[in-house]
Structures are given as structure tokens and as C-alpha cells.
Structure 1
Amino acid sequence: MSGMPPPQGETRLTTESEGLLARAALRCAAWAERWFPDAWVFAALAVGVVAVAAIVMGALPGPGAATGFIDLLPRSVGSASTAFGDGFWSLIPFTMQMAFVVIGGYVVATAPVVARFIDFLARIPRSGRSAVCYVGLVSMLASLLSWGFSLVFGGLLVRALARRQELKIDYRAAGAAAYLGLGAVWAMGLSSSAAQLQANPASMPPGLLAITGVLPFSQTIFLWQSQVLLICLIVVSLIVCWLTAPGDANARTASEFVVDSNHATPKLPPRERPGEWLEYSPLLSVVVGLLGLGWLVHEFVAKPVVTAIANLNTYNLLFLTVGLLLHWRPRSFLNAVARAVPSTSGVLIQFPLYGGIAALLTQARGADGQTLAHHLANAFVHVASHDTYTLVMGAYSAVLGFFVPSGGGKWVIEAPYVMQAANDLHVHLGWAVQVYNAAEALPNLINPFWMLPLLGVLGLKARDIVGFTFIQLLVHIPLVLGLLWLLGTTLHYVPPVIP
């Protein structure tokens, strides 16, 4: 289930008939397939880079210190090691949530009625290029409600399109398009962690609440400036999808990646033993399903819909409950789970490394008592002015987001610094949140961390799609930063109202 190089006779690209961006995407894809490491190797290299930076920072003597680099080095190494070990398991709840995003989405999507709906959607495109754009549009629109759903649904839509023998669709480009929901616009929608946090005072750290006050959606994701930015991102992303999708001569199908897109969901075998009767009876599915639905109804009655669905635990229970009821018989449900579990292997083995990276950035303290994240924040914030805040803040969030891939958790770390700077520089606070949202999504386009659930569904590796997402990144960087600055000039600072 991994990407493989093309056969010996097909390594030469016939790019003469392709457009400029398509040729660039194909060359990037060829380079990535040859040189881009496995996602675990990529994460391990990131651990090394951040660890060295933390050790060097900790071994540099502070002002007036009597000890030097050599004396402080052992202590700094110990501090970095402790932080890495303490953070290694810190993402375990999130790891399991992400694993269940894959499992729940797979279980629902392989239920007979949903599988037929995805097959219906897959019959709409008429050409390979239009199919790639179609996947990108579906993925981005779905991500505005839930980024997790967009990953799984988009991946299964790509597999359904790949089953159409008459449609010459490039499996890599379609997979990259399915990733656009998370890589381009997810943080501009209802599942934006930063916007959700700022709109719910009970969830905000007291220190942050004292700086920003409460910022309702009307001041963040529902600003007309935010809608203009969102529409521009969707339109430009689809144009890039069209221009980078290879033509028939260079399209690589799912079969070339040893992905069996033609397999049908195995039928439930007949019951063989008396002890299996409960596995084949809908009784347990109804009992467990009704309990799950009862809890979900309570959640959606007690909370706003957008708040409830943005909770990953609620989201996962919803999908598992619906999947259980749609499969009807426990044995059918369990068979679907068993088929989905191998797709979670990358999530399970890589997320602990990202937990260690986050801890190295936020917990390992230097000789001056400050963390690497604090120094990074100050380095960006101190060079900003009222006119350049959006550009500096956007660049900072994008860079740090590559090393700390957690929208909500990273916002809690950054917000006290950047929002205080927004107050000091008289920058609209709601737009400061949107600067974070738009810029934080940029590194997702090439960060294997967020690709893992989608890659598990597609049976690909990060190197198979990153050539196409890299072209999207090159286009998005000036587009996002330019629009953030331009639209920000239409907003005026409003002092926070502290409850």
C-alpha cells in the first residue's frame, strides 16, 4: 500500500503537451518521489533540528553569568531530553482521536448506502482534470464544517473516481486535491480551533481572556473580509488544481501505486456457529447505537451545533454510532473496523515525535529561563509595526506551524504574545485571529503530520502527493500574506471588552 516508482520504461515524462504549472508539478512530484523521505523520517529529522536548537539555547550563558557554554552544556542536554520525554506521550489522546477519524470515516463510507452515494458523486466528472478540481472543491467545502470529515470523505471519493476505467485521472493529483480542505481553508470555517476558543470564555486561559476579551464569530470567521479571503483561496486553489493536473499521457493511475481501487466491500459470510448469532443480529447494534444517539442529542441540544461538532470526541462518536447502525450487524461493523485499522499505523508511530517537538519548543528553558517558542515569538513580534503586523504575524505562524502542528494548542501558546502585540499596535483583534488561521494552514500543505489520515485511506505516502501540494504552497504564500495585509487595512482597532 505504498507509492512505487514507475516501471523502467515509463520514467521519462512527456511534458511537451503540458502547461507550465503542470510541468512544474510533475517535476516536483518526480523529485519528491525520489528524495522526499518517509513521514516518520521527516518527523525524526525535525526532532533533531529542534533539539539542537534547544540545547544550544540552553547552553548559551545569560547576561552576567559566571558559567560558560561548556559548563552549561550538560544541563542543557538534560533539559532537552527531559522535555522530549515528557512530551513524547502528550499527544496520545489526540493520536487516538486522529486514529478514530480514519476508522470512523472508513466505517461510515464503506456502509452500503454511503458507498453507493460516493459512487454516485464519482460519476459526475467527465475528464481527469475536472475530476481533480471536483475533488478539491468537495474537500474544501467539507472542511468548512469539519476538517476530519474532509480528509476521509475526500480520500474515499478519490478511490471511487479511480475505479472508473474510462476516466484517466492522476491518482497523485487527485490525492493532493483531497488534501486541500486541510491544507488551504479549514481554519477559515466552523472548526477553526482559534476562533472557537476566542468565542468561548469558559475555554480560554484566564491570562488570554484578560488580553483579548471574548471575540464572537462575527469578529473573526464571519467578517466580510474573511469571506473574501475564503472565496479567493477556494477559487485560486481550484485554478491551480486544473493547471497542475497531468494530462492523459502523464497521468499515473491507482494501479501504478499498487492500490486496489476496484475491490468491492466483501460481503458478510453466512453464520457458521450458534455462538455467532449475536454478531449477526442487529440487537446489539440497536442497543449501543441508541445509547450513542441519546448522548449526541444531549450534546447538540445543550451546545451550539458548531461547538458540538467541532469537538473531536463528539465527531468520532457520531461517525462510529452512525457507522454501527448503517452496517446494522456487529460482524459487518467489526469487519469494516479491521479493514480500517492498518491505515492508522502512520498516525500511531509518528504523533509521539510531534509531541516531543512541541515540548522541546515550549518546555525546554534556556539559561535565561525562556523557551525556544518564546524567543521565536519575540523575534517576530518585536520587528512588527501597525502596518507590518499582519505580514510578520502571518510569517511567524506559518513557520512555527510546521514544527508545532496543532491549531488549537499552538494558538494557546502564541496568543498571549501576539494578541498583546495586536493591542499595543492597535490591530483589529478579530483579524489577528484570522491572520493566524489563514497563515497557520500554509505549512499543512507540505507537513506530513496532517496528511496521515488521508494517506492511510489512499494507500499512498507523503512523497506521492507533496509535489502537487508544494505548487499550491508557492501560490498560496504570496496570495495569503498579500490578502491578509490588504484586507486588514479596511479594519479598525476596537479595544477589548473584558467580561
Structure 2
Amino acid sequence: MSHAAAAPPADRLTRLALSCAEFAQRWFPDAWVFAVLGLVLVAVAALLAGASPQATAQGFGKGFWSLVPFTMQMAFVVIAGFVVATAPPVARVIERIAGWPRSGRGAVVFVALASMLTSLLSWGFSLVFAGLLVRALGRRRELDMDYRAAGAAAYLGLGAVWAMGLSSSAAQLQANPASMPPGLLEITGVLPFTQTIFLWQSLLLTAALITVSALVAWHTAPRGAQAVRAADCIGDIDLPAASVPRPTRPGEWLEYSPLLTIAVSLLALGWLVTEFAAKPWTSAIADLNTYNLLGLSLGLLLHWRPRSFLDAVTRAVPGTAGVLLQFPLYGGIAMILTQVAGSDGATLSHRLSQLFVQVASQESFALVMGVYSAVLGFFVPSGGGKWIIEAPYVMQAANELRVHLGWAVQVYNAAEALPNLVNPFWMLPLLGVIGLKARDIVGFTFIQLLVHIPLVLGLLWLLGLTLEYRPPVLP
């Protein structure tokens, strides 16, 4: 075969990525099904280890509601992010900054940076904000921007760095003892943000991921009239203007008046000022209640009128379905893992931690755990929720191998994001905004995955060597 007839490497990678996406879309069930299968697998494993059926069932029942506070907190992360991103002032900001890029490739990189930087504050906000930015850029016909590449760039926040930021569910959980599942606090103690996402090693890893992801987005963005697929591929690119109708009866007056917004915002501001004055800001923002109240208050203030705010919340709630349905199952799994003993008195968590100790060493722990979390994350797209399942045994293994516990959390966070680059589950909110299908963008994100795998695993191992073990600090 001549060289002319051979497909370019990039084309072969794109075709492979499209095939993987189509396979996943056809054969992968909903993430809730994976959570149930995980529960069944853990329950069967407990029974095979000698636990009684009664003890296994009781463990599930006790754990099912054990994560109610954390479940609601994570649901509000989604709601607050959506509410802020869809507020009229934010929409005006999006229209303004969409005028900054001067070329199609520059626009793709701009979206990538906007997506990744905003995801460090809130992954829920990032998905909607970046999606609306793509649509605004798509209306600029003179840019010659490939709409698919821009859509893939908008997903890089959730596919690359979100778990390294403030809305990382694993880091938030470890910093909030009241939110931890039974048994985990005794293993890890409390890990403040200064020991997880604010480690200099973590900040360096995040900066490297952002830089490399932007470079890949630049080099993979199609150029030329024949290669570029513009926003016309989805039809009408304009979004319907958001408008709040006038009240139709006297009882609706307060819904359309800013008076209630001002009153609630003053109360929230007073509480937030007290919180940040009483403790270091890293501790204050690590409290999920503070984090969510800040987001909701900002959203209410930006929408100004309660009716607009309530309508945005209504549109956001469907996006919380996965959290509300999956996290109780994770609580049941965590209880069975950590509290239900087998015939020899050992729990499944203890057995799994021993397996990690046998397979890994202090030096190789980051690599072993990173590969394990990435592979499991492809089958269980939890958005960080499966940390509740993994934490008891991987953190016990980290203790026994004397691995820095905060870095173990960051190993999970960095590896957790990798499968998101090709798994369609978390793409759905973004795809709904930009009007594309997973197969339209996964060819670009697959190339990102090929670059990220060696980069993430290599840096996790290398940076982990610079940290020393610290015993758990119990509250």
C-alpha cells in the first residue's frame, strides 16, 4: 500500500475514538445500573467471606441513608453551578468575551481555558458556562471555528482538572468529618484542603494539565474551509432569550420584586462574613455548606428577581438525578465494606487494603491506585462519588504503606477525570447545551486521553516521591 493511500495517524485515532464512543453509547447502561451491580457484587463478596445474610442486609440498610447530608450537598453543587451560569449578567459576560478570539483555533483554545479554569471553582458551572460560550462563538461566522472541536474543548473542565479544584467531592468529603461514611474518619482523620488540592504538588499537576490540554486543543482543531465543520451543523445557533413575564395577579408580586432577593442576600452575606472572619479562608471554603450557600446566594443575586432564580433552579434539578439515586447506594456499599465482618472477623475493606499492600509499594502506590481508579471510573462514572466506596480500603493501604494521605486523595482525583474524556455519561449536560452528540466530540477528547494518561500517571508518581507520610489527625 502506498503512503498516499494510508490514513493519517490523526484520522485513524479519530475513527478509533468514534468506534469506542458508539460502542459505549450502545452497550453501556445507565450509571445507576453500575451502582446497583457494585452493591450486589459487594454483598455477594461479604456473604462468601462468611458474613451472615442478616448482617449484610443490616449493613446495607444502615448505610443507605448515612450519606444524606453529603448527597444533598453534592446536588446543590450542580444546582448552584447551573443557576449562576444561566443568570442574565453572566449571559452578557459570555457575549462580551466571545468577541475576544481572532481565529478559529484561538477560539477553541479560549473555550478550553475557560472550561478548565471555571471547573476549578465548580464543575456544574463550568459545563453550562463553557457550553453557552461555544454557542456564542459559533454565531461568529468569520471565525472559521470548528464547532465540534470547540464542543470538545468545553468538556475539558470535567475531563481534565475539575477534581483538582474546589468542587472535588473527594477533597470536600475528607475535609468535612460530618459528611464521611461510617468507618472512614477513623482511617483517614480530617484532611484539610491544604493537604489535598492546595498542596504545591497538586497545583503544579493542575497547571501542567491545563497547559498541555490547551496545546492539544490547538493542534487538533481543524483548519481550512474543507476541514472545519461550523455551527451550521446543528441548525439554529441562537438561544431563546431568557425573559421573566410580568405578574398576572397580586399574589405573585413578591416573586417579581427584588425585595426578597435583597433580604436573603444580606442574611447570607452576614453569615459568610462571619464564617470567613472566624477561620482561614481555606477552611471556610472547604465546608460544603459554606461553598453551596456562597454559590446559591450569588445565583439569587445575579438573577435579581426570585421568579427568574426559581425558574433556573427548576431547570437545574433534573441534572441532580444521578447524584440523588446513586449516592444512597454508595452509602450502603461503604457500610458493607467497612462494618460487616466475615467469618474470620475481617471486613472486606480490610481484605482489599491487604491486597493493595501486597501489589503496591510506597513508591508504586500512586501508579497502582491511579490505574485502578481510572479503569474503574470508566465503568462507574460517579463524578467523584465512588471515592466513598474506594476510600476505606485504599486509604487503609496508604496508611500501611506510609503514603501521604492527602496525595492519595489527589491520585484518585487526577485519575478519576481520565475516563471522563471518553465516557459519554458526563457529556450529556454539555451536549444538551451545544446541540451535539457524544460521537461529534469524542474523537478530539480521545486524543486528549492518549496524552493525559502518561502525563497524569507519570506526574502522580514523580510528585508523590516528594511527600512524606503524616499519621491521621482525628477531630
Instruction: Verify same fold: TM over 0.5.
Output: yes
CA RMSD of aligned residues (A): 4.4
Residue 383 of structure 1 deviates from its aligned partner by 0.9
Secondary structure of 2:101's partner?
Answer: coil
What TM-score results when the alignment is normalised by the length of structure 2? Answer: 0.78
- 2:161 — aligned with what? 185
The answer as to whether partners of 2:64 and 2:329 remain within 8 angstroms in 1 is: yes
Structure 2 partner of 1:37: 25
Change (3 A) 1:43 1:19: same
Match of 2:124 in 1: 148
Which of 352, 367, 375 is the equivalent residue of 2:325? 352
Among candidates 254, 261, 264, match of residue 278 of structure 1: 254
1:439-463 per-position Cα deviation (integer Å, ceiling 9, x unaligned): 2332333445544544454455555
Matching of residue 363 in structure 1 with residue 336 in structure 2: yes
Residue aligning to 2:15: 27
1:363 partner amino acid: I
C-alpha distance in 1 between matches for 2:290 and 2:264 = 15
Find 1:476's aligned residue among 443, 452, 459. Answer: 452
Kindly indicate whether residue 244 of structure 2 is the aligned counterpart of residue 256 of structure 1: no
Identity level (%): 65
Q: Distance in 2 between matches of 1:91 and 1:457?
A: 31
3-state SS in 2 of match to 1:169:
coil
Would the alpha carbon gap of residues 334 and 393 (structure 1) be closer, same or farther in structure 2, given more than 3 Å must change?
A: closer
Counterpart position of 1:437: 413
Offset, 1:185: 1.9
Residues 391-421 of structure 1: CA distance to partner in whole angstroms, max 9, x if unpaired?
1122233334456656776545544533443
The Cα shift of 1:137 comes to 1.3
CA–CA distance in structure 2, aligned partners of residues 197 and 17 of structure 1: 50
- Gaps of at least 5 residues in structure 2 are none
Count of aligned positions: 468
* 1:190 Cα deviation after fit: 4.1
CA deviation map 1:137-163 (0-9, x unaligned): 122222333333323322322232223
Is the 1:133–1:238 contact (alpha carbons within 8 Å) kept by the matching residues of 2?
yes
1:179-258 correspondence to structure 2 within 5 Å: 179-195=155-171, 217=193, 219-247=195-223, 248-257=225-234
Residue deviations 1:302-340 (CA, integer Å, cap 9, x gap): 4443444444544443343333333333344445445x3
Instruction: Return 5+ residue gaps in structure 1 as ranges.
Output: 1-15, 66-71
Paired amino acid for 1:385: S
Q: Using the TM superposition, give the Cα deviation of residue 265 of structure 1 relative to its aligned residue in structure 2, in angstroms.
A: 1.9
Contact 1:57 1:367 in 2 (8 A): no
Aligned partners of 1:85 and 1:456: how far apart in 2? 36
Opposite residue 416 of structure 2, the aligned amino acid is E
For the 8 Å contact 1:351–1:449, the answer to whether it is kept is no
* Inter-CA distance 40–285: structure 2 relative to 1 (3 Å threshold): farther
Separation in 2, partners of 1:431, 1:398: 16
Aligned with residue 370 of structure 2, among 370, 382, 394: 394
1:50 aligned residue (14, 38, 56): 38
| Equivalent residue in structure 1 for 2:241, among 257, 265, 268 | 265
TM-score (norm 1): 0.75
Post-superposition CA distance 1:117-145 (Å, at most 9, x none)? 11111111223322222122122222333
Which amino acid is the alignment partner of residue 381 of structure 1?
V
User: Structure 2: how far apart are the matches of 1:252 and 1:88?
Assistant: 47
Report the CA distance between 1:262 and its aligned residue: 0.9
Letter matched to residue 153 of structure 2: A
Change (3 A) 1:200 1:474: same
Answer yes or no: is the 8 Å Cα contact 1:188–1:437 preserved in 2.
Answer: yes
